[in-house]
Amino acid sequence: MRQRVSKTASQRGSARERCSGAGYNPSEAPHLHLNVAGRLAIADPIKLENPWRTTPRRTSIIFLLAVFFVFASIGIANDVIDMGRPPIPRFAFLVVLTGLFAVCYAVSGITLRKKFWKAFFPLLAVQVLSMGALSNLYPDPPSLKELDRDQTTRLHNRMTFDGVAEIVAVTLGYVGFVSVSVSEARRHARAQVEKAALENEMTAAREVQRVMVPEVIPPISGYAIESVYRPAAEVGGDFFQVIPLPSGRTLVVIGDVSGKGLRAAMIVSMIVGMLRAVVSFTEEPAAILAEINRRLCGKTHGGFATCLIVRVEEQGRLTVGNAGHLPPYINGTEIPFAGSMPLGVLEDASYEQSRIEMHVGDEAVLVTDGVAEAQNEQHVLLGFPRVESLLREGASARHVAEVAQLHGQADDLTVISIARAS
């Protein structure tokens, strides 16, 4: 529906195309998977998210603290190597700066990845200059050839402090890394459980999806029908049905359910089931829509559906009922319809129907909003004027769908053409 926000097309399901009518041979019907989606996928490579955005803040902080303490121990080790000779202020600054620079290296490495060198060399230069400045600001005291008792005691205390500090720093760093490992392992396990649940949901949705799109389009005497269905996600909200009626006429139904996944598939399943039940006692498109709407209200959990029903009759007559869907096109010209509510919104909504006369060679085309809402990388929509232009030029349903998909598919695409052959 036009007012609905376009959905992402990171995952594309299989394309389905069906034909029927004069000269139709089921063995030659284009039931194929076009590689257009593959070309689109190549043109739009997967972008890795910044780990700092996906990792919990608490985990990130613990990780950086662990890095700080592990590398701060190097500053403490330097004091041991120098036998405690550096002045205490220089020793303290050295320990803190060593840990802080290690944190900076870690952050820039994880954030920049292959471009880490852009931050490494400036950081290294600043680190070297900082250490040199500390040495100049707090120079080493003169070397002593012999130590008196007090100096020996101070050295012993300094080495003891360094040893304890080293143990504490390494222990804190180790505990931090273990904590991060455990929390990330648990998060990964939860993600795997959620992924499995999602896969189970999508498997169930695929089973339900079988009722969305008919496997075989029944032939209609005097007409040729072509249908193309390209889901933007593994399970989409578009659906259509072609239902032969007891009177010999045929209903062509196209619709779009809000949302994706199992919930959308279940709403479609309800609509299709209701549709097949209602046509057993009425063949009037407006009455069918009103009855489906009455039954659907209160069962969609906030969802809704647009729907267009075309009753194909002999002698080129079409009777059309619309529930908030895009109007049909005849030879590229949109047939105006009064505004109407989608299904599942207001229980007492009423619907109108109109009659259209088609001549031999005329073509009626039904589409979902995903065709006009195809959007390229510059966020430019394909637009309704472009769709109308294609139809006026005599483009087939398959060609219209391909143009929209190559432009940049952002939603499900469904195109159905009904051409009067005789």
Domain boundary among 190, 208, 241: 190
Which tens digit of pLDDT belongs to each residue from 358-404? 999 999 999 999 899 888 888 889 999 999 999 999 999 999 999 99
Question: What per-residue string of b and e applies to 294-317 under the rule 16 or more CB within 10 Å gives b?
Answer: bbbbeebeebbbbbbbbbbbeebe
pLDDT of res. 212: 66
If pLDDT is split at 50, 70 and 90, which confidence band does 37 have?
very low
Average pLDDT, the chain: 83
For residue 387, the domain's CATH number is: 3.60.40.10
More confident of the two residues 135 and 393 = 393
Do the domain assignments include residue 412?
A: yes
Q: Do 260 and 388 belong to one domain? A: yes
Q: Does the pLDDT value for residue 38 go beyond 50?
A: no
Separation of alpha carbons 143 and 160, rounded Å: 21
Stretch 133-158: mean pLDDT: 79
Q: Does the pLDDT value for residue 30 go beyond 70?
A: no
Q: How many domains does the chain have?
A: 2
Kindly give, in sequence order, each residue whose CB lies less than 8 Å from that of residue 104, ignoring residues fewer than 6 positions away.
Answer: 119, 123
Q: Do 261 and 226 belong to one domain? A: yes
Which tens digit of pLDDT belongs to each residue from 195-205? 888 787 777 76
Q: Do 286 and 153 belong to one domain? A: no
pLDDT of res. 196: 86
Q: Do 21 and 154 belong to one domain? A: no
Q: Using alpha carbons, select from 48, 57, 66, 58 the residue that is nearest to residue 111.
A: 48
Do the domain assignments include residue 7?
A: no
Stretch 198-214: mean pLDDT: 70
pLDDT of res. 387: 92
Q: How far is CA 99 from CA 68, 82, 108, 110, in A?
A: 4, 19, 14, 17
More confident of the two residues 4 and 398 = 398
Do the domain assignments include residue 246?
A: yes
pLDDT of res. 130: 86
pLDDT of res. 256: 92
Separation of alpha carbons 375 and 294, rounded Å: 35
pLDDT of res. 209: 65
Both tokens of residue 324? 């908030």
Residue 74: CB atoms within 10 A of its CB come to: 15
**Placement of tokens 């273990």 in the chain:** 178
Q: Do 402 and 312 belong to one domain? A: yes
Q: Does the pLDDT value for residue 28 go beyond 50?
A: no
Q: Do 268 and 351 belong to one domain? A: yes
Q: Do 410 and 294 belong to one domain? A: yes
Q: Do 173 and 276 belong to one domain? A: no
3-state secondary structure of 119: helix
Q: Do 112 and 176 belong to one domain? A: yes
Question: How many contiguous H segments (helices) and E segments (strands) does the chain have?
Answer: 11, 11
Q: Do 266 and 387 belong to one domain? A: yes
Alpha helices (H) in 210-281, listed in sequence order: 261-278
Separation of alpha carbons 271 and 307, rounded Å: 10
Domain boundary among 172, 190, 208: 190
Q: Assess contact for 236 and 9: CB atoms under 8 A.
A: no
| Half-sphere exposure of residue 214: CA atoms within 13 angstroms, side-chain side | 21
Q: Do 258 and 387 belong to one domain? A: yes
Do the domain assignments include residue 212?
A: no
Q: Assess contact for 260 and 7: CB atoms under 8 A.
A: yes
pLDDT of res. 70: 92
Do the domain assignments include residue 137?
A: yes
Both tokens of residue 402? 């391909």
Q: Do 224 and 131 belong to one domain? A: no
Which domain does 167 fall in, by range? 55-190
Stretch 62-86: mean pLDDT: 89
3-state secondary structure of 312: strand
Sheet bearing 238-244, strands edge to edge? 238-244, 250-257, 305-312, 317-323, 353-357
Do the domain assignments include residue 198?
A: no
Do the domain assignments include residue 404?
A: yes
Do the domain assignments include residue 391?
A: yes
